[in-house]
Amino acid sequence: MSDAPQINTALDQLRHRANEAVIDKPPGRRPTWAPPLPLEGELLEIFHDLQRLRLEDFARWVAQKPDKRSGAKAPEADEPILRLWASFHDPRNTFRPDWAGSGVHDCNGFKLRFGVKPDGQLVFRAAKGFDGTWATGPCWAPGSERASLLIRACELGEQIVAPLVGDAADVRIAAASRTLGWCVRCCRALTDPVSIEAGIGPECITVVAKMEAASRPEVLQTAWRQRQQDGRAELAKAGGKAG
């Protein structure tokens, strides 16, 4: 597994990036930030092996069913790519006194998954505790071929996330995003040829330009305070009900 200080530093910086990317999202909407990462090497081989086991398990399931149910469609294979899905505290959540009514979303963890969709096979996860420390996993129980593959995938997943610090994170995320035709900031699909060539959408490039015009921490802090004010106003207007 990776060195603890290294993975913690990477997760803290990724958390900062996630919060920055969704800072303009209203409290009533669930934000999404899930940058793609290249899937290659040993982890790509594990991905194909897991797909093979998945299809074999499905075939056995079909064979055990009556004929009237044997025409079920096999599960579609996920696209061979990784995505790092950020999870966020809901500012309307009354079970978090420190965030209830704050008006802003705050990243509290990540899940690295195979495929483009959020229900892809879990590879690696990290959750930030109330004390500010990171807990990583998952911890798979050994025993089967599938479990052995998932245990190794978790180790490799942590090795992928740990180096995502500073410019290295920008380079890897940008490379995978451009391959897919996604915006490097918000990770959404681009349709305009100019935006695809640039690798970033028109709204995001405006935000980036504003941040580069001043010191990044100052701009982010100002935007964060404004988001809190707007969020509290929206919550007050809605009666302050929890979602």
Q: Where are the alpha helices (DSSP H) in the chain?
A: 4-21, 41-63, 145-161, 167-180, 193-198, 202-213, 216-237
CA distance 61 to 215: 58
| Sequence-distant (≥ 6) Cβ neighbours of residue 96 within 8 angstroms | 89
Output the pLDDT for position 125.
Answer: 96
CB of 242 within 8 A of CB of 93? yes
The full set of domain ranges for the chain reads 4-237
Output the pLDDT for position 198.
Answer: 78
Output the pLDDT for position 200.
Answer: 83
Sheet containing 82-89: order of strands: 36-37, 82-89, 106-114, 122-128, 134-137
Closest C-alpha among 194, 169, 123, 193 to residue 21: 169
Sequential pLDDT tens for the chain (243 residues) = 556 788 999 999 999 888 888 877 776 677 888 999 988 999 999 999 988 888 777 676 666 665 555 555 656 666 788 999 999 887 665 454 454 445 567 889 999 999 888 888 999 999 998 788 899 999 888 888 999 999 999 999 999 999 998 888 888 888 888 888 888 877 788 888 888 877 888 888 877 776 555 445 555 555 556 555 666 666 666 664 443
Give how far Cα 99 sits from Cα of 130, 206, 225, 232, Å: 12, 29, 14, 11
Output the pLDDT for position 91.
Answer: 60
Q: Pull the structure tokens for residue 192.
A: 């305009």
Output the pLDDT for position 155.
Answer: 95
Place of tokens 């305070």: 225
Q: What is the pTM of this model?
A: 0.74
Tell me the β-bridge partners of 114: 82
Output the pLDDT for position 158.
Answer: 95
Output the pLDDT for position 150.
Answer: 94
CB of 186 within 8 A of CB of 17? no
Provide the residue type at 225 as one letter. R
Output the pLDDT for position 131.
Answer: 83
